[in-house]
Structure 1
Amino acid sequence: MTTEADSISVELGSEDVTILANSSNTVETDLDVDELLHFGNIKSESKLLLQSALPIIMSTTTQLLIMLPMMSAVGGLGTAALASMNLVSIYAGLCGIAPLSGMAMALDSLCSQAFTAAKDKRMLGLYLQRVFVLILGVETVIYPLWWNAQPIFKHIGVPDEIARIAGQMLRLYFFGVGALLVYECLKSYLFAQGIRRAAVIGQACCLPLIWLSIWLLISNDTTSLGILGVPS
């Protein structure tokens, strides 16, 4: 072995391998920094990111546009109705929506990996079916917590009227959670394949119908179901 200031020569059999001592000064890269920072590339990449993010932004905005008139309509029913709705939102989130949504969002990574790396693209459908079965099993477990929510609320000190209204809402709301989770799973399934417009178009088409149902089931005096119109 011969050692010099600039290099080390190692003899391996019939080959000589030279290892540069100052390798940090001789590293070469195929990335052209000037090219990466060129205005044209930044502009095109920003446009691509905006196009990818826009459907998600619109989807979130649509959900807020649903909640705003609903909260306003419930507020017109009285403070007890508004308090019951807030209690239902917290309880449903802790005892169902949070864990079930986490399972649905797992498809974001699983389907993305399957779509980009797996040779068999049918893995996307397999993941989707497995998540459906898993969610159905978890819903079966949490069903008693939702159906018997009224005595639970009373046990923790919630006023009787609010506990009664919230318990009735949860019994109806439980049947709509399944449809919500199916939508979230299908949205993740499509987003992983780069299909983002379908969810946005679906929400945009349903938004006027939801506003109409809020008016008919909550606000309109002749057809209103009261606070029970919220989960309906």
Structure 2
Amino acid sequence: MSATSLGTMADEHYRETAPLLPSHPSETTLNHEPMVDDELGVSRIALIRQEAWWLFTSSVPLSLSYLCQSSFTFVSMLSVGKLGVNELAASSLAVMLINFIVLMPCIGLACALETFCSSAFTASRDKTRVGFHLQRGLIAVTLQLIPTMLVFVYIDTLLQKTGQTPEVAALCGQFLRVWLIGSWPLVAFECLKRFVQAQGIMQASTWVMVVVAPIHMFNSYALVWSPSLGMGFVGAPLATAISSWLMFFLLVGYIAMSKAREAWGGFTWDCLDGIWEFYRLAIPSAAMMACSWAAFELVTLESSMFGPVALAAQACIFAAMSLTYQTPAAIGSAAAARVGNSLGQGKQRRARYSSYVAIAMGYIVGMACSVLLFVNRHRWGYIFSDDAEVVGLCSTLLPYFAAVQTYDGMNGLVSGVMRALGRQSLGAMMAFPSFWVLAIPIGFYLGMGPMDLKVVGLWLGLAVGVIAYSLSMQCYVLFCVDWRHEVKVCLERLVRCSNPKVTETRERLAAATSLSDGYGSLA
């Protein structure tokens, strides 16, 4: 794709900015006028319709982007699955380690940008505050990535000590070291994606994926199976690394050729001053993701103890989980941007109803995915493997996953709302007992205890944790949030994490705080 066409698309789709106020959002909030919600005259029905339409039109492109990105793992698993059970098991284990060691902490840190960037875009007349927070996110994920390199160098030996066969351990080590080539652009892409979404530009990552996805599919075949270019097993992670660099450069190009670049402002070392305010939310954000994600990955690791067949079947289930999770997660990302923008402008009613509408949409999508998975439970395994044992175990496990899939998707969705509110610490406190006090002990007891249900027992335990976590977060958002208070908290947070030289915002916050009782009814 040429630079001219990329720039045209960028300018065309910049008009997606959320229509929260008649003027540009960054020119309106935190002024000296009273911060009273000026939409109190808008009826509930009108707000629900507006938010449903905005979330729908925003989450559709995001869903396509998320599905394409998650399909990279799906395509990689598909390309190596036909090589043999050991290859499929090794790639599944490698993906689990990538998720656990790299993506889980790095994306968790990047998700904190959904708290800072979305509210900063509307709460400050200086749009470069969005880029200021982006710089902190890029620094955080880069520092987090460095220790990974040392772990992956010695991963073969570590895996053998955990009970893996030498063949699977060696193949897994190969996969991880090649994949590492594209690790940094992948986590940087996650930060840039949230940078543009905070500005209401939801289709940027979609256009990037439209270009990269077919290239990845071709590379995954050519680098694994092509008679002339094929490398066999290592071709799959190499294709993923190439795609990661393409995603990064294309999104940077999109930003450079659109008005989104106005929110960048250039790199400054001032971003290091007060960076711990970023970590105050980034670390709980990573912990919230780690509590749930690590539980799933631990189930994969324990499944490997039952042999390559169980691990291969688990890989098939996780591929289904990854695909069905993306649409609710996309709705959650759209809701995070919308709620953050609304809070930054003092529009507590709109933020509230946007959250409610997002939850309703999540249930509709989740139940549809659950039905599709259950209906196709006997066919799904054949996509990845021709081994009858793998397919049979996959069809046995899918009904359990289908039953809990709706709540799993809701976890990703409601987590977006929690991040917009800056409630990552509370989310982590809800996740820990759900997964590590309920899910894991119950799963281990059912799978390895007297009942000896093996992988089925592990999944039953996970189901308990997923449902408990989902319902606890939903109850908090629906019944416990004081939305008027959240506006004040949002502005105070932006002041704390700003450069100490910024004093004008502090004065405006003081004026807004003195009028905090005038936000109006929540009705």
Interval containing the TM-score (normalised by the shorter chain): 0.7 to 0.9
Instruction: Using the TM superposition, give the Cα deviation of residue 65 of structure 1 relative to its aligned residue in structure 2, in angstroms.
Output: 3.6
From 159, 177, 198, give the equivalent of 1:192.
198
Give the SS at the match of 2:119. Answer: helix
Q: In structure 2, do the counterparts of structure 1 residues 71 and 191 end up closer, same or farther at CA, with 3 Å as the change threshold?
A: same
- For residues 193 and 91 of structure 1, the distance between their equivalents in structure 2, rounded to whole angstroms, comes to 33
Q: Which runs of 5+ in 1 are unaligned?
A: 1-29
Instruction: Using the TM superposition, give the Cα deviation of residue 32 of structure 1 relative to its aligned residue in structure 2, in angstroms.
Output: 6.4
- For residues 209 and 86 of structure 2, the distance between their equivalents in structure 1, rounded to whole angstroms, comes to 30
Query: Counterparts of 1:72-221 in structure 2 under 5 Å?
Result: 72-221=78-227
Match of 1:37 in 2: 45
Q: In structure 2, do the counterparts of structure 1 residues 45 and 113 end up closer, same or farther at CA, with 3 Å as the change threshold?
A: closer
- For residues 42 and 111 of structure 1, the distance between their equivalents in structure 2, rounded to whole angstroms, comes to 24
- For residues 226 and 97 of structure 1, the distance between their equivalents in structure 2, rounded to whole angstroms, comes to 25
RMSD: 1.9
- For residues 32 and 110 of structure 1, the distance between their equivalents in structure 2, rounded to whole angstroms, comes to 29
- For residues 135 and 54 of structure 2, the distance between their equivalents in structure 1, rounded to whole angstroms, comes to 31
- For residues 78 and 106 of structure 2, the distance between their equivalents in structure 1, rounded to whole angstroms, comes to 28
Instruction: Using the TM superposition, give the Cα deviation of residue 127 of structure 1 relative to its aligned residue in structure 2, in angstroms.
Output: 1.3
Give 1 or 2 for the bigger CA radius of gyration: 1
Instruction: Using the TM superposition, give the Cα deviation of residue 43 of structure 1 relative to its aligned residue in structure 2, in angstroms.
Output: 4.4
Matched-pair contact (CA < 8 Å) for 2:156–2:173:
yes
Match of 2:60 in 1: 54
Q: In structure 2, do the counterparts of structure 1 residues 32 and 185 end up closer, same or farther at CA, with 3 Å as the change threshold?
A: closer
Total equivalences in the alignment: 200
- For residues 79 and 222 of structure 1, the distance between their equivalents in structure 2, rounded to whole angstroms, comes to 24
- For residues 42 and 106 of structure 1, the distance between their equivalents in structure 2, rounded to whole angstroms, comes to 27
Q: In structure 2, do the counterparts of structure 1 residues 116 and 31 end up closer, same or farther at CA, with 3 Å as the change threshold?
A: closer
Give the SS at the match of 1:37. Answer: helix
**Which stretch shifts more, 89-98 or 44-53?**
44-53
Letter in 1 for 2:228: T
Identity %: 28
**Which stretch shifts more, 157-166 or 139-148?**
139-148
- For residues 178 and 97 of structure 1, the distance between their equivalents in structure 2, rounded to whole angstroms, comes to 10
Instruction: Using the TM superposition, give the Cα deviation of residue 64 of structure 1 relative to its aligned residue in structure 2, in angstroms.
Output: 4.0
Letter in 1 for 2:54: L
Matched-pair contact (CA < 8 Å) for 2:80–2:88:
yes
Instruction: Using the TM superposition, give the Cα deviation of residue 31 of structure 1 relative to its aligned residue in structure 2, in angstroms.
Output: 5.2
Encode CA deviations 1:171-210: one digit per residue, 9 max, x unaligned: 1111211111111111000000011111100101111111
- For residues 156 and 144 of structure 2, the distance between their equivalents in structure 1, rounded to whole angstroms, comes to 21
Instruction: Using the TM superposition, give the Cα deviation of residue 106 of structure 1 relative to its aligned residue in structure 2, in angstroms.
Output: 1.3
- For residues 146 and 88 of structure 2, the distance between their equivalents in structure 1, rounded to whole angstroms, comes to 28
Instruction: Using the TM superposition, give the Cα deviation of residue 87 of structure 1 relative to its aligned residue in structure 2, in angstroms.
Output: 0.6
Instruction: Using the TM superposition, give the Cα deviation of residue 67 of structure 1 relative to its aligned residue in structure 2, in angstroms.
Output: 3.4
- For residues 75 and 126 of structure 2, the distance between their equivalents in structure 1, rounded to whole angstroms, comes to 45
Q: In structure 2, do the counterparts of structure 1 residues 46 and 133 end up closer, same or farther at CA, with 3 Å as the change threshold?
A: closer
Q: Which runs of 5+ in 2 are unaligned?
A: 1-38, 239-523
Q: Which is richer in strand?
A: 1
- For residues 219 and 165 of structure 1, the distance between their equivalents in structure 2, rounded to whole angstroms, comes to 17
Give the SS at the match of 2:163. Answer: coil
